[in-house]
């Protein structure tokens, strides 16, 4: 029960994650806790990192953890992790480090800061950064790690808090190929698809490209559903036809943004839980940086970024990114 309680608590605010609780409950109950084996450092114990770290404990790893939030650290301590006072202290105690931080700046300060990992990293340490960040920052961190005799790989994830709790994440890994076997061994504890993507930064490149498409299809689904409903169509009927026709996509079929069309999605729970609008906005900002750097035209991705930025300014930052449907509704004044 301690595991169950903590796994649920680590997904923070019940409201934010209410739609995930049933599945997490069924995934967590009855999992055996083995004796600790090897030391792993884990930095960033939020909605994703918290349950990922619990899965390491479940599979017998002893872990040393750090987060700027003492509450997040306490939750993991209650599960059996050892707390460190800084990223530097984590690095001094382990030879493998996983990080799951919000954005590029957090990763830079966590690794390169005054009390950062690189202050005391041991030669030979393997770093796996699962945060979604700018691919160029992954390359920068890999270069700094290499000067210390360590290896940095980017390993961003696909799958949300349910997949983190259920150890079914997909990891997109970039870095030296000869290190991939060791990376895969550790990441397999937290995910089921571990894919090698090539040089460092390539994991991030795949991740942000996917999220650009996801944002575009989510906005398209939301505006399509909104229009159809204004034309008098019943939303479930409309979704069922789209999902057997050429407009079908993940956003329409698995994650429909209209409340009541699907159960167990954020749209049917006041857009609580899931993947936050603020995080999607951050990823779309990364896309724009990458598009500028590579002179790539991304008109739809650029527009999606603007829409998600406006949503953040309209009080939807903490809601799931499918709340773009609500945003479009609120912006239609000519009912």
192 is catalytic: no
Q: Does 208 bind ligand NAD (CB under 6 A)?
A: no
| Catalytic-role residue among 139, 148, 207, 282 | 207
Query: Are 151 and 183 within 8 A, CB to CB?
Result: no
Q: Which of 94, 100, 225, 291 binds ligand NAD (CB under 6 A)?
A: 100
Instruction: Report the C-alpha gap between 76 and 70 in whole angstroms.
Output: 10
Q: Does 73 bind ligand NAD (CB under 6 A)?
A: no
Q: Which of 69, 70, 146, 332 binds ligand NAD (CB under 6 A)?
A: 69
Q: Does 206 bind ligand NAD (CB under 6 A)?
A: no
Beta-bridge partner residues of 320: 276
Handedness of CA 14, 67, 52, 3 (dihedral sign): negative
Q: Which of 6, 88, 131, 322 binds ligand NAD (CB under 6 A)?
A: 131
The tokens 């994440």 sit on which residue? 169
Residue 251 Cβ, how far from ligand NAD at the closest point, in Å?
A: 15
Q: Which of 59, 61, 106, 319 binds ligand NAD (CB under 6 A)?
A: 106
Q: Which stretch binds ligand NAD (CB under 6 A): 68-76, 177-185, 193-201, 307-315?
A: 68-76
Q: Which stretch binds ligand NAD (CB under 6 A): 65-73, 229-237, 285-293, 302-310?
A: 65-73
Binders in 158-177 for ligand NAD, by CB under 6 A: 160-161
Give the residue nearest to ligand NAD (CB): 46
Binders in 25-64 for ligand NAD, by CB under 6 A: 43-49
Question: Of 142 and 157, which CB lies nearer to ligand NAD in the complex structure?
Answer: 157
**Burial of 26 from C-beta contacts in 10 A (0-12 / 13-18 / 19+):** exposed
Residue 138 Cβ, how far from ligand NAD at the closest point, in Å?
A: 12
The values of phi and psi at residue 174, to 5°, are -120, 140
Instruction: Report the C-alpha gap between 197 and 207 in whole angstroms.
Output: 10
Residue 80 Cβ, how far from ligand NAD at the closest point, in Å?
A: 18
Q: Which of 102, 112, 235, 289 binds ligand NAD (CB under 6 A)?
A: 102
DSSP 18: G
Instruction: Report the C-alpha gap between 39 and 213 in whole angstroms.
Output: 38
Angle at 78 between CA 77 and CA 82, to 5 degrees: 20
Q: Which of 21, 68, 195, 300 binds ligand NAD (CB under 6 A)?
A: 68
**Burial of 313 from C-beta contacts in 10 A (0-12 / 13-18 / 19+):** exposed
Which residue in 192, 163, 191, 157 sits closest to 274, CA to CA? 163
Which residue in 115, 159, 109 sits closest to 137, CA to CA? 109
Tell me which residues touch ligand NAD (CB under 6 A). Answer: 43-49, 66-69, 72, 100-102, 106, 109-110, 131-132, 157, 160-161, 275, 279
Q: So which residues are the catalytic ones?
A: 207
């Amino acid at each position: 029960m301690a595991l169950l309680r903590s796994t649920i608590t680590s997904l923070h605010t019940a409201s934010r994650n209410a739609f995930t609780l049933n599945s997490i409950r069924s995934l967590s109950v009855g999992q055996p806790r083995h004796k600790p084996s090897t030391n792993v450092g884990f930095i960033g114990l939020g909605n994703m990192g918290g349950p990922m770290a619990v899965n390491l404990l479940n599979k017998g790893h002893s872990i040393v953890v750090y987060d700027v939030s003492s509450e997040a650290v306490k939750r993991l301590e209650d599960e059996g992790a050892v707390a460190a006072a800084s990223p530097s202290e984590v690095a001094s105690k382990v030879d493998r480090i996983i990080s799951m931080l919000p954005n590029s700046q957090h990763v830079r300060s966590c690794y390169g800061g005054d009390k950062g990992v690189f202050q005391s990293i041991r030669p030979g340490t393997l770093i796996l950064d699962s945060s979604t960040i700018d691919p160029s920052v992954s390359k920068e961190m890999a270069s700094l790690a290499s000067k210390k005799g360590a290896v940095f790989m980017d390993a961003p994830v696909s799958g949300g808090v349910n997949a983190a709790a259920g150890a079914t994440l997909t990891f997109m890994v970039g870095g030296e190929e000869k290190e991939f076997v060791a990376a895969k061994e550790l990441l397999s504890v937290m995910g089921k698809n571990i894919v090698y993507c090539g040089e460092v930064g390539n994991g991030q490149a795949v991740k942000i490209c996917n999220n650009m498409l996801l944002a575009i299809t989510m906005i398209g689904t939301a505006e399509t559903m909104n229009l159809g409903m204004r034309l008098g169509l019943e939303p479930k009927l409309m979704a069922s036809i789209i999902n057997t026709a050429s407009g079908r996509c993940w956003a329409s079929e698995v994650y429909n943004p209209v409340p009541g069309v699907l159960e167990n999605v954020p749209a049917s729970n006041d857009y609580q839980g899931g993947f936050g609008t603020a995080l999607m906005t951050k990823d779309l900002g990364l896309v724009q940086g990458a598009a500028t750097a590579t002179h790539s035209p991304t008109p739809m991705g650029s527009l999606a970024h603007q829409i998600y930025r406006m949503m953040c300014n309209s009080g939807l930052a903490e809601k799931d990114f499918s709340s773009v449907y609500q945003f479009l509704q609120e912006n239609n004044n000519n009912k």
